[in-house]
Chains A and B, each alone.
Chain A
Amino acid sequence: MSPSSVMWVEKYRPQKISELINQKEIVGSINSMLKNQSELPHLLFSGSAGVGKTSAALCVSREILGKHWRDYTLELNASDERGINMVRERVKKFSRFAGLDTEIPFKIIILDEADEMTADAQTALRRITEDTAKICRFILIANNLSKIIKPIQSRCVVFKFTKISDKEILSQLKSIGKKEKIKADEKGLSAICDYTDGDLRHAINILQAAASSGNVTESVVKSVVGLTKTNDVQDVLKLALDGKISDARDKMIELIKVYGMSESDFLKYINQAVFNSKANNLEGMLETIAKYDYRILVGANPEIQLSALLAELTKFGK
């Protein structure tokens, strides 16, 4: 079995713009822009996780490039390669190479999680988007629009994707459940909705994992959601607050170096963990995290900084 057919998120990924759930206005305006393809501007999709941004980008590419879409689309995830070299080597090269098929109006570069790109890398992109405008279109995707530098934003049409309503998530889960012939009770499904907060991608993943163990019930859902590595980040926080620096650090290093969690995701999840912990020193802890986040941003060594962060968090534990 191929990986893309075994995981339901992939299996049920919208193949046409019009299949996107919950983003009616965006679907409408993208569709009307697609009527005049040669004038299509660069696009920037922003919004939280699992609301259809990547799907929309892939659909645009498929609809414009037809059967050749894979050959003329460069899909990069900036979270995997964040630096200027990614732009200089991969993006620039792809955008420049000649040999456009006549049936094709331009090539498409999808830069997913573009808000993870360093400012340098974004700046380098600036020139390229202009220089290659005739033969290339960019679709940038970002969770956090404010991390995209202004000159880039100004070169794109920005679409803000909204979270998917619980109602829509529920009906999508039901429809998938029906096709996959699984048993799920109402409480189990609404537990998934509660947990995922508008993230359809995560909801589908939970549904599949829960269904794999039999009936999708509330208690199964509860135990399944404990599987993700965000739970491990919570554990790291707990260990640190208990003063167990060394254990906390070992676990953090395992997450980053064995499983490949990015440092910036680690910071994001520990931030969430602090937020959810409802500790009384919330502001102090968040400030501390921000301090080390900043240090990494200005070029410090992430491992050293994250270790120091965990050590400093111990002082909030007492």
Chain B
Amino acid sequence: MMWSEKYRPKNFLDLIGNEESRKLFVEWFTNWKKGTRPILLVGPPGIGKTTLANLAAKQFGYDLISLNASDVRNKKNIHEILSPVLGNQTVLGTPMIFIDEVDGVHGRADYGGTEAIIKILKEPTVPIVLAANTDSSDKMKSIKKVVKTIEMKPLSPKLLRLCLNRILQLEGVKIDSDSLAKLVTKSRGDIRSMINFTQARATGFDPPTEKSFESLDIEEGINAFYKANSTVEARSILYSLRIDPREKINAFYSSIITSKISADDMQKFLQVISEADMLYGKIMKTQQWRLLRYLDAILLGLYKKDILIRYSKYNLSWPLLNRLRWDGTKIKSIIGSLAKTMHVSKSTFSTLYFPYLLYCIKNKKIDLEFDESLEEIVQKEVALIK
């Protein structure tokens, strides 16, 4: 089971963060009687809204009728599903309604859907809980008028760290403190995403064979790899280089592509990188994280004793990098708007229209008005015509 599901809290005590909100929520449940305003839980992804609602139902002994917003298409659907529940036809013991991702109704369902929900919210004969990521849209504003809103916030780094350490301990996995810090920051308070990335990290790498390389950063790592005296040494460096696989591939790519090595070596190494990159692409697409363990085995093909390769952060020369940043942005903005008026893709426009257009401008047969900042680049491109 994926860790984020495996470690989904099983009872209230497992939940972390948002103490205040949870307290309010529990109070609301305790005091609930017919007519009490429904609750809206608002907060960013992966902080426990769905979990909280589910646990509360369990705790207070309700039978949960859940509506996933993507099911909710129209008025008819909502009525079909919820009317029996609301109309005292108690086929279902003590029901409670949970409409998750209710902000999704806005984009996905038609107008009648929101209307129908609001109507139901106004006459709550059973407890109704809604959850949403945002409450700023017009639809959400009209929903908010008839509910009590409880806000939930991203979790603090301290709590995230606690949670992470507990999971790592249970899984018997060790992660160096730098990576741990990075996982925590990267998640921006989203526990689920943090757990997912931790799992990816943890399953992707074999345990390091040599502790001494554990704290290598990417630059030292690549340099040490190419200074290694044997494949065995290179392997242990590679395996202990615990950084994001994408970063690892990119770092090798930029280091190799900017080095002065023979065309044969270049070709060989780029093929290795291409294969590693393809594997990673597949993993991302299929979420088969366990395949990550083969990545280092492929990357080891990049080792050759005494070859002169050193770490490089960028994979392009400065002039090209600058042209890309400055000219590229401007050219793309010109092409973007012109392509639209010509009913062709940007790529087609730049390949098959733009050069002719520039040529006509050069010959003063076409005169187009551009913004001042863009005029300059047009002149520059015109001057480049042979």
Contact = CB atoms under 8 A, between A and B. Distances in A.
B216 to A, nearest CB: 23
A259 B331 contact: yes
B296 interface: no
Nearest to A304: B277
A223 to B, nearest CB: 9
B285 interface: yes
Contact of B278 (A93, A257, A269, A305): A305
A75 B343 contact: yes
B13 interface: no
Given A7-B357, A98-B111, A260 B347 contact: yes
A202 B352 contact: yes
B274 interface: yes
Contact of A292 (B274, B332, B353): B274
A308 B315 CA distance: 13
Contacts of A261: 347, 350-351
Contact of B271 (A243, A299, A311): A311
Contacts of A206: 356
B345 A308 contact: no
Interface residues of A, number: 66
Given A295-B278, A308-B273, A80 B355 contact: no
Interface in B66-104: none
A312 B335 contact: no
B345 A80 contact: yes
Contacts of B274: 292, 295, 300, 304-305, 308
Contacts of B270: 304, 307-308, 311-312
A178 interface: no
B342 A307 contact: no
Contacts of A79: 345-348
A226 B366 CA distance: 20
Interface stretch (B54-62, B144-152, B176-184, B319-327): B319-327
B366 A212 contact: yes
A307 B257 contact: yes
B316 A253 contact: yes
A262 B345 contact: yes
Interface string B261-280: 00100110011011001101
B169 interface: no
B328 A301 contact: no
A209 interface: yes
A281 to B, nearest CB: 15
B323 A304 contact: no
Interface in A230-258: 230, 243, 245-246, 249-250, 253-254, 257-258
Contact of A213 (B107, B328, B363): B363
B271 to A, nearest CB: 6
Given A3-B342, A79-B346, A311-B266, A257 B324 contact: yes
A314 B271 CA distance: 12
Most A-side CB within 10 Å, residue of B274, B280, B323: B274
A254 B350 contact: no
Nearest to B365: A212
B341 interface: yes
Most A-side CB within 10 Å, residue of B357, B363, B386: B357
Contact of B331 (A253, A260, A308): A260
A261 B352 CA distance: 10
Nearest to A245: B266
Interface string A88-108: 000011001010000000000
Contact of A299 (B107, B285, B332, B347): B285
A299 B284 contact: yes
A258 B324 contact: yes
Contact of B355 (A229, A265, A300): A229
Contacts of A46: none
A148 to B, nearest CB: 17
Nearest to A13: B343
Contacts of A4: 341-342
A314 B284 CA distance: 30
Interface string A39-66: 0000000000100001000100000000
A31 B303 CA distance: 65
A227 interface: yes
B249 interface: yes
Given A298-B278, A314-B263, A6 B366 contact: yes
Interface string A256-280: 0111111001000100000000000
Interface string A189-220: 00000000000001001101101110000000
Given A80-B345, A96-B110, A314-B267, A259 B277 contact: no
Nearest to B333: A260
Interface in A290-318: 292, 295, 298-301, 304-305, 307-308, 311-312, 314-315
Interface of A: 1-4, 6-7, 9-10, 49, 54, 58, 75, 77-80, 92-93, 96, 98, 112-113, 116, 202, 205-206, 208-209, 211-213, 224, 226-230, 243, 245-246, 249-250, 253-254, 257-262, 265, 269, 292, 295, 298-301, 304-305, 307-308, 311-312, 314-315
The 3 tightest CB contacts between A and B, nearest first, are A299-B281, A79-B345, A308-B274
Interface of B: 107-108, 110-111, 249, 253, 257, 263, 266-267, 270-271, 273-274, 277-278, 280-282, 284-285, 316-317, 320, 323-324, 327-328, 331-332, 335-336, 338-339, 341-348, 350-357, 359-360, 363, 365-369, 385-386
20 contacts: A3-B368, A4-B341, A6-B367, A6-B368, A7-B353, A9-B353, A77-B339, A93-B107, A96-B108, A96-B110, A205-B356, A226-B386, A227-B359, A229-B355, A245-B266, A259-B354, A261-B350, A262-B347, A300-B274, A304-B270
Given A209-B356, A311-B271, 5 more contacts: A228-B355, A261-B351, A262-B345, A307-B257, A311-B266
